[in-house]
Amino acid sequence: MATQETYTPPFRADVVGSYLRPTYLHEARAQFAQGKIAADALKAVEDRAITELVVRQKAAGLHVITDGEFRRSWWHLDFMWGLNGVEKAALSQGYVFSGIETRPETARLTGRISGENHPFIEHFRFLMQFSEKDIVPRLTIPAPAQFFKELYRPENRDSTQRFYPSQDALIADIAAAYQTFIQELYAAGCRNLQLDDCTWGMMVDARYNNAGVAAQTSPIQNDCHCAHDAHTVISNNVQELAELLLQANNTAIAGAPSDLVIATHVCRGNYRSTWAASGGYQPIADVLFGRENVSAYYLEFDTERAGDFSPLAAVSGDKKVVLGLVSSKTGELEDKQTVIERIREATRYIPLERLCLSTQCGFASTEEGNALTEEQQWAKIALVTEIADEVWPA
C-alpha cells in the first residue's frame, strides 16, 4: 500500500502541466475571438475539455492533475494579464525561437501592481472538485522572475520605469502581488503550486546569458534568437543577474503556508516543438539549486542542450529533482532502458529517493501546442509511469 508521502508532490511519475488542446476547444476559442460565441459559451466548452482531461490523467495513473492550461493562450502571459495594473499589449515582434516567431503579444504596466481577485483562483476552484485522497490538483504559473523580465522587454521598458523607477520597488510590488495571490489560492484549496521559469534556462546560453533585464543604462542590441530576450543587460556579470532573479522569486514566496508545496520548472523554451536556448545548468547551479526556496526542481534533460547531471550536486537540503528525460516536443517514443540508465547516472549526484521522472516540458506551452498527436502525448505519459513503477517500486 502506498504511504501518504507517496501523495506529496513531486511524484515519481510526474508531468509539467500543459496538454494538447482538443480540436473542439481550438474551434471554440476561435469562435470567441471572432465574436461568434459569448464568454459563458466558451467557458462551457473549456469546462468540458478540462473534465475530460482530468479523466484521462487519472486513467493514466497520475497522482497529479492540472487543467492542462486549457483556459489560457500562453503559459505565462495570461497570468500576468490577470494581475492588477497590467494590460495585454502588442509588440512589433514576437518571441523568436529556433526558426519560428510567436504571436507578438506581451504584458505591459498601466499602473502599480497588485494581486487580489485574480481570475486563476476561479479556474483552480473548478479543478479542485476532481481532487481525491491520492489525486493532487496543481496550478502552474510563471515565476516572479519571468514577470520581472517581461516588464523590461524594449517596448515595455518606458511604461515599467514610469511606474517603477527603482527595480527594488518593482520587485517589492511583484512579491506583494504574488503573496496575495498565493494566500487566495491556498484558501481555495491549493496545496501544490509550480513556478514556471525560463529565465534561468535562457541565462545559461552564452549567446545572451545577461539579456532580458533593463539596467538604468542604454539598451544594447544583440543578435541572439532568444524567446525572452529584451535586448538589454543589467550587468556584465551573470551572477549579479542570478542574484536579482533569486531575490524576485524568494521574496515572492516568502511567508507561503508551510504545507503548500512550491516547486519550479526550468526550461529553454517550448513553442510548437521548437526551443530557444542551449547550455548546462552549471553557471547558475549554486544560486538556483542551492538557494532558491522551493521544494523541487522540474528540469529539462531530454537533449544534450541541457548539459550533464553534475550541476545537481549543488541542490541543497532535501529538495527533490524531477528529471525531464522524456521529450514533449517529439512524437517518437524514447527507449525505456536508455531513460532508466540516465536516471541511474543522475544518482551519482542526487540519491534515487530524491529523484522523480517527468516529461521535459508541457505539451502545449501555448495554445498552438507541440508537433505530436494526442495519442503520442498519452504514450509519452504511459512511458513515464511505466519507468517510474520499475525504478521506484511501491
pLDDT reported for residue 224: 34
Q: Specify the amino acid at residue 326.
A: V
pLDDT reported for residue 275: 56
In this prediction, residue 265 has a pLDDT band, given cuts at 50, 70 and 90, of very high
Q: Which three cell numbers stand for residue 322?
A: 524531477
More confident residue, 111 or 330: 111
pLDDT tens digit sequence for 1-53? 344 345 799 999 999 999 999 999 999 999 999 999 999 999 999 999 999 99
**Neighbouring C-beta atoms of residue 338, cutoff 10 Å:** 9
- Short-list 142, 179, 149, CA closest to 167: 149
Residue 23 CB burial class (10 angstroms; 0-12, 13-18, ≥19): exposed
pLDDT reported for residue 205: 75
* Residue 218 scores a pLDDT above 50: no
User: Are 330 and 371 a contacting pair, CB within 8 Å?
Assistant: yes
User: Are 91 and 66 a contacting pair, CB within 8 Å?
Assistant: no
Whole-number Å distance between alpha carbons of 124 and 72 = 13
Whole-number Å distance between alpha carbons of 66 and 53 = 8
pLDDT reported for residue 98: 66
Residues 6+ apart with CB under 8 A from 393: none
- Mean pLDDT is lowest, of 148-157, 183-192, 344-353, 376-385, for 148-157
In this prediction, residue 201 has a pLDDT band, given cuts at 50, 70 and 90, of confident
Q: Specify the amino acid at residue 351.
A: P
Q: How many residues does the chain have?
A: 394
b/e burial code for range 126-161 (CB count within 10 A of at least 16 → b): bbeebeeeeebbbbbbbbbbbbbbbbbbbebbebbb
* Residue 118 scores a pLDDT above 60: yes
Residues 6+ apart with CB under 8 A from 369: 20, 21, 272, 363
User: Are 342 and 326 a contacting pair, CB within 8 Å?
Assistant: no
Cα angle value 17/185/104 (rounded, 5°):
55
Residue 8 CB burial class (10 angstroms; 0-12, 13-18, ≥19): middle
Cα angle value 171/324/246 (rounded, 5°):
15
* pLDDT mean over 95-121: 88
pLDDT reported for residue 95: 67
More confident residue, 290 or 98: 290
- Arithmetic mean of pLDDT over the chain: 88
* pLDDT mean over 155-170: 96
- Mean pLDDT is lowest, of 101-105, 134-138, 289-293, 327-331, for 101-105
pLDDT tens digit sequence for 47-85? 999 999 999 999 999 999 999 999 999 989 999 999 999
pLDDT reported for residue 366: 86
Percent of the chain with pLDDT over 90: 74
pLDDT reported for residue 64: 98
Domains of the chain: 15-210+225-391 (3.20.20.210)
